[in-house]
Every structure is written in structure tokens, then in C-alpha cells.
Chains A and B, each alone.
Chain A
Amino acid sequence: MARRSLALVDYDAGNLTSVRKGFAAAGADLFTPASPDELAGAAAIVVPGVGHFAATGALGGPWRRAIAAALALGTPLLGICLGLQWLFDGSDEAPDAAGLGALPGRCTRLPPGLKVPHVGWNSIEVIRASRLLDGVESGAQVYFTHSYAAPVTQACVASTTHGATFASVVERDNVFGVQFHPEKSGEAGIRILCNFVSLT
């Protein structure tokens, strides 16, 4: 049987050229499903995204049901940046837009005082061993660009501090997320993408 592909969900929240190149470097075969039905055959699902949480409204309805169904069958799911925030119940950025709710908690705006958005290279402090961070050292620097962030909960396997300490990497069962952009985070980022791809 041919190796199944990873589904990259394109819901019009930013440009995906760099994400595609990052996964190509990680040896993944990606496809962009045209409809939620196509997620059924995916080896794994990637939800990227930049910008405003309201953009995740496009993931409501059929997409949300298809992603939840795939999750229930054990399909690995990776949320990147806004995609990580969407894994939670919701975000103060768009209170009316519901998140996937795969992880409990709400995303909130980083506190004032330091510059927000949080843009640039910051370090991740590993809280516990995880499949996604296999071979990535605590203190590794990765590239962030965001204003809202997820709380440090049981699912948080690495945190980052910018005015507050937030969840930069989450992992629970087959739910994974990174607040930073692994496709723009040099060797550490590509390693994380490889780790995710190797789950399939």
C-alpha cells in the first residue's frame, strides 16, 4: 500500500510556501485537501495559520467535524502558530470563534510592557520529554511572531517567556502544536517537523 500523505489544511490564513518547503525538507509528502472529506485518508493533519484568530472561523462546521473525527481515529494533528491556538477552547482575540477544544484552556493576549507582537528568536524551555521535541535541547531558539498565546497546562511540553510564560509546544496523545514557526526556525525547526512526520 502506498504511503499516505500529510494533509495541509489551507483555510486562507496566510501563505503556505514556507510551510510546504519545511515539510519537503522533512521528507513529507503533503497534499492540500479541497474538501473536509479528503481528510479521511490523511496520514496526519497540519493546521497552519497566521494572523487573527477570527480567520479560524473558516475551520468551523465540516472542517472541524472532519478534523475531530480523524483525531478520534488516532490521526496525528499538528497546529502551527494560530493553528496551535485553535487546538484550545478559544481565544480572547475573537471570543465568538470557537476553537477545536482538543485541549482545555483559552488563549489570551501577551501582557503589555514589552513589545507585542512577540517577533523574533526566543528559547523554548523543555518541561518534559515529548515525541515532537525528540533531539531538541531545552534552550533551543526558534522563530516566533504572534500577539496571543496559549496557557501553560498539562498538555504543555515546552514553554517560552515574553512578558509572560506561555505554552510554546503542546503535546497530548495525537494532538501536537507549536506556537513558533518550525519552517523558519533553522535546524531545530526542521528536526521538529521530521519528528512529526516520523509519527505517520
Chain B
Amino acid sequence: MDTFTRAGTMLSKRIIACLDVRDGAVVKGINFEGLQKAGDPAALAERYNREGIDELVILDVTATIEGRRALEATIRAVSSRLFIPLAVGGGIRTEADAAAAIDAGADKVSLNSAALADPVLLTRLASRYGSQAIVVAIDAKRNGARFDVFARSGSTPTGRDAVEWAREAELRGAGEILLTSIDRDGTRAGFDCDLTAAVSSAVSIPVIASGGAGTFEHFLEAFTTGLADAALAASVFHYSEHAVSELKAFLQARGIPVRL
């Protein structure tokens, strides 16, 4: 039998925890500023794994601005006993930076400013590691009916449109899009489902909704109206035990396929 019969999917919607890390400690900012300390990355990673998180992202939040690479020691500590996917972003500017993160234990690297400055980097990394290892992080801000892309931790306008940039990133070899709403980031006001739906319906690769998670309903909206394949949050998981398992039970009861 060489051809497939059409069928649906049992693919789960992923719940991803983001560890925003600075100097080896987890922090969480509001609108990218005023960072507060919240914990040890390896300890948090272990807790999330126990609670049933589907994937982890380590983001070195100040790396690009301060010219610092994601801490390899943090990646090693987090990945040492973790058997779920781990993505690392922040300060990955060159092929050598990506190689260092991957050699330290990252399964995926997330590129933002560097991909905007040199999109061919995506193609080079995809041919070396496979597209599944290449995530393009897009920080977007609402501008009327469209969404503008910002670089350098949300500080620098690029003049690019989020939907158009996501399409280009896919063509150049990106395997996933990590899409953050700058307007919603840290506000707990809900994901920007218009942004997520616009990008998700324009590309074939998975789109991870990010920025604004505050309640379980926000995740439900990201998967229904937002058409997201995965949803990412940081602080909503950091401060409450059992948040991940309770969130998944909530989503399953509402018909969203999740991994329990």
C-alpha cells in the first residue's frame, strides 16, 4: 500500500512553558521591561516536566541587547534529565551560536533579530540541522489592521509585516513560528488571536501563540479563534503549582486534544 487514505488527526495542541532567563535565573517582565526574579531554571523545568508540560523554551531575554549568548550552562542544567523538546532563543546570531546551543542540549534554536537581518541564516541552519530544529520568533505589534514586526526584544521597528515575514521564514527553512504579541506580552489580557489566526492560516508550519496568557480561557481562545498549534506562557505557570495539569484538564473537557 503506497497511498494514504484521508483521515483527521489526533495531534495534541501543545502547552509550552517559557523560562525567560537572565544571568542564569528565571525572570518575567511586563512588556519586556521591569524584569523580576522568579526562580532557578533547572528546578522549574523539572517541575513543569512532572506536571506534564509538552515542551520548554529557554529565552535569554536580554541577550540581544546586552550582546550576550544564551548561557550554555543553563541549557545543560535544564536538558540533563529532560526527555521532552527544548528550544533555546536569545542572542543566537550566527551558525556558531546555534551550534553551541544545540551541542549543549537544545533540540531547537529560536532566531529573531538575526533572522531578520540575514534570512539566509535560516536556510543554512535548516540544511545543517533540519527544519524541525529551526524556530523563527516574531515579535509583532498591532498597527491598524496589520501587525508590524519588531527586532531586538521589541525595541526596533523593522518595517516588515508579520504575516509576510512568517511566509518568508517558512520558505527559507523555518520549522515553526513563535509568535509574540508585544501589545499583550505580560499583560495577562489574553493572546492576540487576530494576530495568531492571521499568521497560522498563512503558513503550513506550526504557530506557537505567545504573549498575554492570564486565564485558562485564554488558551482555549488561542486554539479555537486563534488557530494556534501550541500556546506558550511563562508567569501563569511559574507562580502556581498544578497549573499545567489543571489547564490541560480544562482544555480536554472543552474538546481540545491535549497530552495528559
Contact = CB atoms under 8 A, between A and B. Distances in A.
Contacts of B145: none
A184 B11 contact: no
Interface string B103-126: 101010000000000000000000
Contact of A17 (B3, B14, B103, B175): B103
Contact of B4 (A18, A110, A117): A110
Nearest to B80: A21
Interface in A160-189: 160-166, 183-187, 189
A108 B10 contact: no
Contact of A153 (B1, B85, B131): B1
A65 to B, nearest CB: 26
A147 B230 CA distance: 18
Given A18-B107, A183-B83, A164 B4 contact: yes
Nearest to B127: A51
Contacts of A162: 9-11
Contact of A15 (B7, B81, B84, B129): B129
Interface stretch (A34-42, A94-102, A118-126): A118-126
B83 A189 contact: yes
Contacts of B229: 115, 119-120
Contacts of A183: 83
B130 A50 contact: yes
A106 interface: yes
Contact of B7 (A117, A141, A161, A184): A161
Given A108-B2, A163-B9, A189-B83, A14 B130 contact: yes
A111 B130 contact: no
Given A111-B4, A184-B107, A121 B204 contact: no
A144 to B, nearest CB: 8
A143 B103 contact: no
A114 B129 contact: no
B259 interface: yes
A121 B107 CA distance: 15
A121 B102 contact: no
Interface in A104-157: 105-106, 108, 110-111, 113-123, 141, 143, 145-146, 149, 151-153
A79 interface: no
B105 A21 contact: yes
A117 B259 contact: no
Interface residues of B, number: 40
B6 interface: yes
Interface string B228-249: 0110000000000000000000
A49 B185 CA distance: 36
Contact of A119 (B1, B81, B176, B259): B176
B54 interface: yes
Interface string B70-108: 000000000111011100000000000000001101010
B186 interface: no
B18 interface: no
B9 A114 contact: yes
B3 A51 contact: no
A17 B4 contact: no
A161 B102 CA distance: 30
Query: Considering residues B6, B83, B229, B259, which has the most beta carbons from chain A within 10 angstroms of its beta carbon?
Result: B83
A31 B10 CA distance: 36
A114 B229 CA distance: 11
A143 B243 CA distance: 22
Interface of B: 1-14, 49, 54, 79-81, 83-85, 102-103, 105, 107, 127, 129-133, 175-176, 204-206, 229-230, 259
30 contacts: A14-B129, A15-B133, A18-B79, A18-B107, A21-B80, A25-B83, A50-B132, A50-B133, A105-B1, A105-B2, A115-B204, A115-B206, A117-B132, A117-B175, A117-B205, A120-B14, A121-B14, A141-B12, A146-B132, A151-B3, A160-B10, A161-B9, A161-B10, A162-B11, A163-B4, A163-B6, A163-B9, A184-B85, A185-B84, A186-B84
